[in-house]
Amino acid sequence: MTENHSPGVRLRAAAAAERPLQVAGVINAYAALLAKRAGFRALYLSGAGVANASFGLPDLGLTTLTQVAEEVRRIVAVTDLPLLVDGDTGWGDGLMVAHTVETLSRAGAAGLHLEDQEQGKRCGHRPGKTLVSTGEMMARIAAAVRGRVDDQFVIMARTDAYAVEGLEAAMARARCYVEAGADMIFAESLGSLEEYRCFAQAVQAPVLANMTEFGQTPLLTVQELGEAGVRLVLYPLSAFRAMSAAALQVYETLRREGTQQRLIEGMQTREELYEILGYHEYERQRDGASAKGE
């Protein structure tokens, strides 16, 4: 089934219209509203974001498909921006991978990425990663394709092979993943702009660059990556890191000084919050209903 305005269609259209497409990581529905306000055309839900922000857990595959799908539903309920979702390793065997795709698609996601790590996965910028064989990952991708209820739902294959096997092996894997049905490729942890250039030239599919902070990849600009042939640029947890640092500063200042007075200028105002939420329109609707005796 393909709907003219399905989330997958919108993600593909955004990637065609903006080159490279900047994809904003959001940890919840309110962050999605902020990213839309800033002008982003596509959003991303990180597995680490769900684990860290919603459950206080590390990014070690400890959250479930059900938990991630619930976050997807909350985000897509407040914005029509297409949402790419971190599907980790798919939460199981081929049957489960297909179920994962169907579940996230029905929840409103525009696409997901699956990685070629073993089930006991690690953060892509940590040492000690272990990979499944190329054949097993191709089977994982084929299962994902079978699970689509919308044939425009984006299947993105993430390869962590660069850190384990080197650039040539990572590119070879990516080519196989495209052959197996992947629509796009997530090249994780590359070490330079030139390596992104090589990757984009080697793979006949749009390539995503992960501009996560404090990792193995240098923070390259959109212009640099675009000129290298990269089609999507991801900022998975940038806002979350800044929000967390600001929140810790607030808590520490409150404990130390006994007042938030010194912090007020850096806070979002109540009226700014109301504007983003459309608070006054909700209030008018409630007042109108009350006046009618509903």
User: Does the annotation flag 188 for ligand binding?
Assistant: yes
| Cα–Cα separations (whole angstroms), residue 226 to 176, 183, 206 | 24, 19, 11
| Cα–Cα separations (whole angstroms), residue 231 to 42, 210, 234, 293 | 13, 11, 10, 54
| Cα–Cα separations (whole angstroms), residue 294 to 280, 281, 282, 283, 290 | 19, 17, 15, 14, 6
User: Does the annotation flag 160 for ligand binding?
Assistant: no
Neighbour count for residue 251 (Cβ, 10 Å): 10
**Catalytic center residues:** 44, 59, 86, 88, 113, 115, 123, 158, 188, 210
User: Does the annotation flag 227 for ligand binding?
Assistant: no
- The answer to whether 202 and 174 are in contact (CB under 8 A) is yes
User: Does the annotation flag 176 for ligand binding?
Assistant: no
> For residue 207, what is the enclosing H or E element?
strand 207-210
- The answer to whether 203 and 178 are in contact (CB under 8 A) is yes
User: Does the annotation flag 37 for ligand binding?
Assistant: no
User: Does the annotation flag 170 for ligand binding?
Assistant: no
Q: Helix, strand or coil for residue 270?
A: helix
Q: Helix, strand or coil for residue 215?
A: coil
| Cα–Cα separations (whole angstroms), residue 142 to 42, 82, 96, 129 | 25, 23, 12, 23
User: Does the annotation flag 270 for ligand binding?
Assistant: yes
User: Does the annotation flag 4 for ligand binding?
Assistant: no
Q: Helix, strand or coil for residue 184?
A: strand
Phi and psi of 204, rounded to 5°?
A: -90, 60
User: Does the annotation flag 286 for ligand binding?
Assistant: no
Between CA 64 and CA 50, with CA 240 as vertex, the angle to 5 degrees is 5
User: Does the annotation flag 123 for ligand binding?
Assistant: yes
Residues annotated within the binding site are 46-48, 86, 88, 123-124, 158, 188, 210-212, 241, 270
Residues annotated within the binding site for Mg(2+) are 86, 88
Residues annotated within the binding site for substrate are 46-48, 123-124, 158, 188, 210-212, 241, 270
